[in-house]
Chains A and B, each alone.
Chain A
Amino acid sequence: MQFLEPAFLQAVILSVIAASTPLLLVAVGELVAERAGVLNLGLEGMMIMGAACSFAGAYFTGSIVVGALAGILAGMLLSVVFAALTLGLAVNQVAAGLALTIFGIGLSGLIGAGFVGERIETAPHLYLPALTDIPWIGNIAFGQDGFVYVSLALVIGIWWFLYRTRAGLVLRAVGDNHVSAHALGYRVLRIRFLAVLFGGACAGLGGAYLPLAYTPFFIPGMTAGRGWIALALVVFASWLPARVVIGAYLFGFVTILQLHFQALHVPVPSQFMSSLPYLATVVVLIAISRRCGLAGSAAPASLGLVFVPDR
């Protein structure tokens, strides 16, 4: 059986990791923003802008790092617009997020138009002479590109920040009850601004992963709903960092599964297989919400609510 050969299994696992990493980067940033009480539905827009700008950066400088930084910056700039509206002007977060997505998709098309058809070198993979050559696990543990290690380090860092530092505790308090946090003297809007900015940076980096490491070119709309799936992942994870990892890798697995099924010429229409990640998201959202009983009881209590401090 082809399925059980080590080389094949290893290739599958490597491709699952590659498909999961952008989801993980974006979802973990959104988790921080949501823990501070801000629902940013503009992930898809920030992500595609990250993809376009990172490609432009890497194309002109030939440097993956500069590309990634350009992507991060693009995501942050868009998140500043979102913050100005939702925090500065107390605009409904759902509507503002949608506007950000529409805007980001349009602007990325504008920026990326000149780069369609161009190629770049993708991010190099780690190679440690003895370790990477270990059969079975060498390539998986020691042969990834830098983004993969950054994404995992980010999750650990965020877990440590949220649960082991005072600042993390304050951030969670702001998300759970902004009135009380304000009464205690915490600067709710400032903390939320920083959380949104962080979410924007992560979304930009997640978007940057696509042209810098996943495919060596930029296509308009190449995020293909990954930003929305990342939003669902945060719900799936019940707002817990470790579970975001599980969720992201599960979704990466579904994505790769459908690709392999298509390659094996299973007599199912390819469009049906392509719709699997989206259908899986719907099913998972229903299942997870049911298990939690009331609508999102695990959600931060002030999530999505407008806060205007009374002086």
Chain B
Amino acid sequence: MRLVLERRAERSTAVAVASPLIAIALTLLTMAILFAALGKNPVTALSVYFVEPLTDSYSLIELAVKATPLVMIAIGLSLCYLADVWNIGAEGQFLIGAVCGSWLAVRTQGTDAGAWVLPIMLMLGAVGGAVYALVPAIAKVRFGASEILTSLMLVYVADLLLDYLVRGPWRDPNGFNFPTTAEFDPVATVPILIGETRLHVGALIALAVVAAASILLGRTIKGFKIKVVGAAPRAARFAGFNADRLVVLTFAMSGALAGLAGIIEVAGPTGHLQPNFSPGYGFTAIIVAFLGRLNPIGILIAGLFLALTFIGGEQAQISIKVPLDLTKVFQGILLFYVLACDSLILYRVRVVSSRPGAADAIS
């Protein structure tokens, strides 16, 4: 007896809706087993991870703060993945966006520069991220170099560049030798939305990005082309769609969104540029994109869910003393299950006899 995959005659809509939920349920089950193996009470541990953050207002606001970069980056990545373009270097574009925007904040520090500083910073962040993303895009369309590897390599380069800047030329002279820039001036800081919290205008920008992506994919020719090139490249070629141009376009858009998210993160919750200000948002956003089934609304929900894992992970580290790396394990397992469940939209698993011919004899 063995299991084989069989292509469904048509996509199963029921599974398509249920698959992310099944994946989350299976992940929680696996996590419970993992907690038990670590000697923790699974029920307590899961509630620290997933329920407690939802019960106080501070954590709820943190949820929105952490979901903001995840959603923005994942929206951009979903455009790439829909077009079958594999940008996995969003983390690098995120960092470069932060660096480019911070340049202006550092340059205007202590001057009487006006309210124009922040908008220009955001623009520089988006442009920086887009330009950085164009390197793998152009390497792919001009030279045929694998965008997977080039975009990933550039993450390490971006990380080192950021490290150099905050330890070298941009270091705060009054910062007791810590590798960080000085706190940004108020004109270079993203405004706070609600009183004394960390909730900033970036959350609204993320919502606007979700809306814009919904319109792009659902209502425009460009969005249609992106989907056709990814789903049916031959049909796209016959229709005369320029696949190369879409590679460049989707890379540039996702780079711009990652870069924008980067400068918003630095000019918002962080307030200054420092190494390791990102807990790997660019990589987690890949999971967000898939968990959201590459759909803008789905990504918004998935972004909130993965933000929950970051907050829950931090709280679990403090209250039940589990390592922070558990969050990454959890995210990896979640992606495994998401991909596995997605496969069941297209295929069904059937049990067949292992002896060839035996199945035919019975039927």
Contacts and interface: CB of A to CB of B under 8 A. Distances in A.
A272 B290 contact: no
B143 interface: yes
A103 interface: yes
Contact of A113 (B86, B149, B160, B325): B325
Contact of A106 (B156, B164, B325): B325
B329 interface: yes
A269 interface: yes
A4 B5 CA distance: 63
Contact of A102 (B144, B164, B167, B332): B332
Contact of B152 (A228, A274, A295): A228
Interface string A293-311: 1111000000000001101
Contacts of B283: 98, 102
Interface string A256-286: 0000000000000101101100110110011
Nearest to A288: B145
A106 B340 contact: no
A167 interface: no
Given A228-B152, A275-B161, A281-B149, A109 B143 contact: no
B329 A110 contact: yes
A94 B230 CA distance: 14
Interface in B306-348: 323-333, 335-336, 339-340, 342-344, 346-347
B339 A99 contact: yes
A285 B147 CA distance: 10
Contact of A110 (B144, B156, B323): B323
B127 interface: no
B169 to A, nearest CB: 10
A45 B328 CA distance: 12
Interface string B145-187: 1101110111011001101100110000000000000000000
Interface in B258-287: 283, 286-287
Contacts of A279: 153, 157
29 contacts: A88-B3, A98-B286, A99-B287, A102-B283, A102-B332, A103-B329, A106-B327, A106-B328, A106-B329, A106-B330, A106-B331, A107-B328, A110-B325, A220-B325, A225-B152, A225-B156, A235-B149, A269-B164, A271-B167, A275-B161, A282-B135, A285-B150, A289-B143, A289-B145, A290-B145, A294-B144, A308-B5, A308-B347, A311-B352
Interface of B: 3-5, 7, 86, 88, 135, 139-140, 143-146, 148-150, 152-154, 156-157, 160-161, 163-164, 167-168, 283, 286-287, 290, 323-333, 335-336, 339-340, 342-344, 346-347, 352
